[in-house]
Amino acid sequence: MAELPVLETPRDPALCSGRFTISTLLGGDEPPPPAAYDSSHPSHLTHGSTFYMRTFGYNTVDVVPAYEHYANSTLPGEPRKVRPTLADLHSFLKEGSHLHALAFDSRPSHEMTDGLVEDETGTNGEKNPEEPVRFGWVKGVMIRCMLNIWGVILYLRLPWITAQAGIVLTWIIILLSVTVTSITGLSISAISTNGKVKSGGTYFLISRSLGPELGGSIGLIFAFASAVGVAMHTVGFAETVKDLLQEYGSPIVDPTNDIRIIGVVTVTVLLAISLAGMEWESKAQVLFFLVIMVSFANYLVGTLIPPSEDKASKGFFSYRADIFAQNLVPDWRGMDGSFFRMFSIFFPSATGILAGANISGDLKDPAVAIPKGTLMAIFWTTISYLAISATIGSCVVRDASGILNDTVTPGSGACEGLACGYGWNFTECAQQHSCRYGLINHYQTMSMVSGFAPLITAGIFGATLSSALACLVSAAKVFQCLCIDQLYPLIGFFGKGYGKNNEPLRSYLLAYAIAVAFIIIAELNTIAPIISNFFLCSYTLINFSCFHASITNSPEVNWGSSVQAGSYNLALSYSVGLSEVEDHIKNYRPQCLVLTGPPNFRPALVDFVGTFTRNLSLMICGHVLIGPRKQRMPELRLIASGHTKWLNKRKIKAFYSDVIAEDLRSGVQILMQAAGLGRLKPNILVVGFKKNWQSAHPATVEDYIGILHDAFDFNYSVCVMRMREGLNISKVMQAHINPVFDPVEDGKEAGASGARPSVSGTVDPEALVQEEQASTIFQSEQGKKTIDIYWLFDDGGLTLLIPYLLGRKKRWNKCRTRVFVGGQINRLDQERKAIISLLSKFRLGFHEVHILPDINQKPRAEHTKRFEDMIAPFRLNDGFKDEATVTEMRRDCPWKISDEEINKNRIKSLRQVRLNEILLDYSRDAALVIITLPIGRKGKCPSSLYMAWLETLSQDLRPPVVLIRGNQENVLTFYCQ
């Protein structure tokens, strides 16, 4: 935690916009004089000082976790909160920066925020009139999917399919189709809930899961299939209108050309509705939905009404057991009479499940709306299909003439078929295959059965037009996203958007042109199988993308046989290819440089990092050999292979890297700059806690803290691990040790000589492999203990990410994770809900959140005295000395703590004491304790004082303690891109 250095300068509101970058902080400006950084002055308040004074007891630019730090945008009129950069916390603040300006913000506490703000929209809090229209899961997904599923096939082909395949096989066709769509719906849900889904729907999901190569190809297929779907539903509508014209004796030209003319006019009207914008299109969808529901009710009522003479002549006799029994089995007729032909014609009616995902960019919360709306739509439409197939198959015979005189009369000859039992003789037309009515001959059977035929006609109009409209919108949206990504040449023209919703007008015209081309076919049974093939390809790729994401691992690389050589070349190619991948939060991996020295000396540190990086990210064990290069080079070559073999024997997937340097700090600087390859480069420095810092030579402590500062300067995150029994087992092994990180227990020899200790000794590589492996806590089952995370300040989410990755491993997955956050007693519920909401968006599965309202309480007197006794040997005691003497003392002993520094940091020091009391109260029996690492400002916090903070914070705890500080950049996000 870095306290806020403030200047006695008036607040300039103009400086409040913008954000610090490392380049601006580390530029040529000279840092302000030390006197300007007196944050203990009572008049110096931070941007949220009222909040922080109540929570932590001192002013700080560090901020608590908040949703806004991870969001890419804010609501119109709302100020944007930003997290301070690592340079803001670690380096000198420039005079006149927005942090200093905010430091003098004198607004009342209820107006203050608990984060830095960037006002993106000005002071006008009124609603932006250009705010896009967004839809919820019912209106945006469920209704849209149901309308697309309830398309032309429901009214015009389901009765015919029932007659051809029989009720049993029709149910099998329906359930088989639903199985495909349900699995796909679950895959869509799994992918879409991984983050915020943008416009482009299916194409977006696949391209972001499998990459643009597969996503681009399937996106093109899907967009084309949607455009053909427009033609299919429009032809169904035109077919109904054609039948009405023929019924009233008013054809336009002839049946085929009538369908073409009506289809082109209809799709032109649908294009106009789409061009009017998403809001009008959504209102039209709701109207269509109501019409369809009324038509369903009308149909069901019609099946219960006793048949009139006209309906009976057309084969309707209400519910009859013998009709149901006869229609259970198939009666294949014509060229289309086969099971798979029926499946191919029916399947497009199930493809509407993607209608919601395809407009994901226009949904309020796609991650919730897509799975909820899609699965509910699948359920209700499946029920409706099964019900209609069973009811209409129980009421209507397959063949009927529609002639009122075809009744059974004495002397009319032999009568065959079920209709004979109800007084009707359809034998002649059935034998000659000339019947115009009946379930297998008349596509408009549902209209005939219904109580009021015009309502079914209205339902057909609603279903066909709504589905055509949804397909038109889907095709255009996917085309637009495909064009924006520029995966194919010469198609960028169609990606341009217009208006507040970025409407793809050019893509609409492209989809319209494709639809018109297929409307010219004018045959529904020909168009439907084409769409089935396209959509089955799309669904296969969607399911494969989910499957692929769940099982794939990176290849292991070695050298030797031709197969291994091929693996090497492949790995090399991929490594080079990774260099072309842009930096993004979604691509973040915790890649660790672990300062183990010889890895077998600190097995617990190796096991800890190896556990959460296994099969996930890069781990490098770093070792610095101190001494002249010529003297250490033979040893360097000798031990490298031995340490690598030791890691392999321990089943740790890590690299070993060593360097020779004059001192440890220089060697670590070399490692941090040179370790890794391209994108496979460490971004986290992991070190062990310097347990014997109080007895070690002060120069080694200065180096230790200097390494942490160097890590922050190189934009690394830092992880410090402490175990009660210590990390270094080299004394037990009677081998050389790394003196800076864990020197010999007494450290008296080194201290007396006044020089840094040196390293000596060699390690036999064969002995390393043959030695007995030391057991550590990270190799054993943890049972049902707890992993306690103290996320005190927002570091970008690394404090959460590492324990989450650890908790996914078999030995730790039974542990319960608890998150502790600082707060105020009068805001417990509010702050707890905010953190729970943020954690739920990250999908980490952390549900147990505790707010600590007592951080700001005074620690117990004996604990305070223990801290004062701890730092007493490191005090400069300069209170009564002149400035020249103090300067001389400081130059010789930079690790010493002046009286001014003790007074200035007194409150912050007491907070570490108090936090340790809280840790002992809450986490004494935890399996692992994770704490946000406090930051000491470089050049302002002596190394001995900073070590005293770390010692005090983590002392007396039985479980391992890991202090983590990210580099203040997001490593967690709830966005897909």
> In this structure, how many other beta carbons lie within 10 angstroms of the beta carbon of residue 585?
18
pLDDT for residue 123 is more than 50: no
Q: What average pLDDT does this structure show over 659-672?
A: 92
Q: What average pLDDT does this structure show over 46-69?
A: 63
Band of the pLDDT at 78, cuts 50, 70, 90? low
Token digits for 678?
A: 């391209």
For 41-50, 83-92, 720-729, 786-795, which range has the lowest pLDDT when averaged over its residues?
41-50
pLDDT for the residue 973 = 82
Per cent of the chain over pLDDT 70 is: 77
Per cent of the chain over pLDDT 90 is: 22
pLDDT for residue 671 is more than 50: yes
pLDDT for the residue 484 = 79
Band of the pLDDT at 951, cuts 50, 70, 90? very high
For 57-71, 261-275, 429-443, 887-901, which range has the lowest pLDDT when averaged over its residues?
57-71
What three-state secondary structure class fits 513? helix
> In this structure, how many other beta carbons lie within 10 angstroms of the beta carbon of residue 312?
21
pLDDT for the residue 764 = 60
Which residue intervals of 485-555 are DSSP H helices?
505-519, 524-551
Q: What average pLDDT does this structure show over 811-835?
A: 87
pLDDT for the residue 61 = 75
pLDDT for residue 421 is more than 90: no
Query: What's the CA gap between 835 and 66, in Å, rounded?
Result: 7
Residue with the bigger pLDDT between 453 and 408: it is 453
Q: What average pLDDT does this structure show over 879-888?
A: 70
Band of the pLDDT at 549, cuts 50, 70, 90? low
Those residues whose C-beta lies under 8 Å from the C-beta of residue 784, and which sit 6 or more positions away, are 814, 815, 816
CA-to-CA dists, residue 132 to 126, 227, 497, angstroms: 15, 25, 13
pLDDT for the residue 762 = 43
Query: What's the CA gap between 254 and 252, in Å, rounded?
Result: 6
> In this structure, how many other beta carbons lie within 10 angstroms of the beta carbon of residue 326?
17
Q: At what angle do helices 158-192 and 201-210 cross, to 10 degrees?
A: 50
Q: Is the dihedral of CA 534, 538, 543, 548 positive or negative?
A: positive
Token digits for 900?
A: 């001014």
Query: What's the CA gap between 947 and 820, in Å, rounded?
Result: 23
DSSP state of 351: G
Query: What's the CA gap between 806 and 808, in Å, rounded?
Result: 5
Q: Give pLDDT tens digits for 210-250.
A: 666 667 777 888 888 889 989 988 998 898 888 888 878 78
pLDDT for the residue 959 = 92
Query: What's the CA gap between 456 and 462, in Å, rounded?
Result: 9
Q: What average pLDDT does this structure show over 15-32?
A: 36
For 173-182, 285-294, 856-865, which range has the lowest pLDDT when averaged over its residues?
285-294
* CA-angle at 693, arms to 687 and 694, nearest 5°: 165
pLDDT for the residue 209 = 60
Q: What average pLDDT does this structure show over 41-48?
A: 39
DSSP for 44-71 reads ---TTHHHHHHHTSS-BS-----GGGT-
What three-state secondary structure class fits 85? coil
pLDDT for the residue 907 = 87
Looking from the CA of 620 toward its CB, the CA atoms found within 13 Å total: 23
pLDDT for the residue 929 = 94
Highest mean pLDDT among 12-26, 89-103, 272-286, 956-970: 956-970
Q: Which one, of 556, 552, 616, lies nearest residue 589 by Cα? A: 616
Query: What's the CA gap between 209 and 932, in Å, rounded?
Result: 32
**CB-based contact 815:792 (threshold 8 Å):** no
For 155-164, 498-507, 643-652, 841-850, which range has the lowest pLDDT when averaged over its residues?
498-507
What three-state secondary structure class fits 434? coil
Those residues whose C-beta lies under 8 Å from the C-beta of residue 249, and which sit 6 or more positions away, are none
Q: At what angle do helices 524-551 and 158-192 cross, to 10 degrees?
A: 30
pLDDT for the residue 514 = 93
Q: Give pLDDT tens digits for 720-779.
A: 999 988 888 876 654 444 444 444 433 333 333 344 443 333 456 566 666 667 788 888
Query: What's the CA gap between 774 and 103, in Å, rounded?
Result: 52
For 15-29, 142-156, 447-461, which range has the lowest pLDDT when averaged over its residues?
15-29
> In this structure, how many other beta carbons lie within 10 angstroms of the beta carbon of residue 969?
18
CA-to-CA dists, residue 442 to 398, 449, 760, angstroms: 9, 11, 96
Burial per residue of 771-780, b for 16 or more beta-carbon CB atoms within 10 angstroms, e otherwise:
eeebebbbbe
Query: What's the CA gap between 359 and 366, in Å, rounded?
Result: 9
Q: What number of residues does the chain have?
A: 977
Q: Give pLDDT tens digits for 846-883.
A: 889 998 887 888 889 999 999 999 988 888 877 666 66
Highest mean pLDDT among 133-147, 150-164, 379-393, 884-898: 379-393
Q: What average pLDDT does this structure show over 798-806?
A: 92
Band of the pLDDT at 560, cuts 50, 70, 90? very low
For the chain, helix (H) and strand (E) counts, in that order, are 36, 12
The amino acid that residue 822 corresponds to is: G
What is the pairing mode between strands 684-688 and 592-595? parallel
Looking from the CA of 373 toward its CB, the CA atoms found within 13 Å total: 34
Q: What average pLDDT does this structure show over 534-538?
A: 85
Query: What's the CA gap between 252 and 953, in Å, rounded?
Result: 88
Residue with the bigger pLDDT between 557 and 651: it is 651
What three-state secondary structure class fits 658? strand
DSSP state of 960: -
Q: Which one, of 115, 98, 119, 195, lies nearest residue 794 by Cα? A: 115
pLDDT for the residue 684 = 93
In angstroms, how far is the first alpha carbon of the chain from the final one?
A: 31
Tell me the pLDDT of the chain averaged across its residues: 78
Query: What's the CA gap between 259 and 253, in Å, rounded?
Result: 10
Q: Which one, of 533, 77, 415, 456, lies nearest residue 296 by Cα? A: 456
pLDDT for the residue 45 = 35
**CB-based contact 453:329 (threshold 8 Å):** no
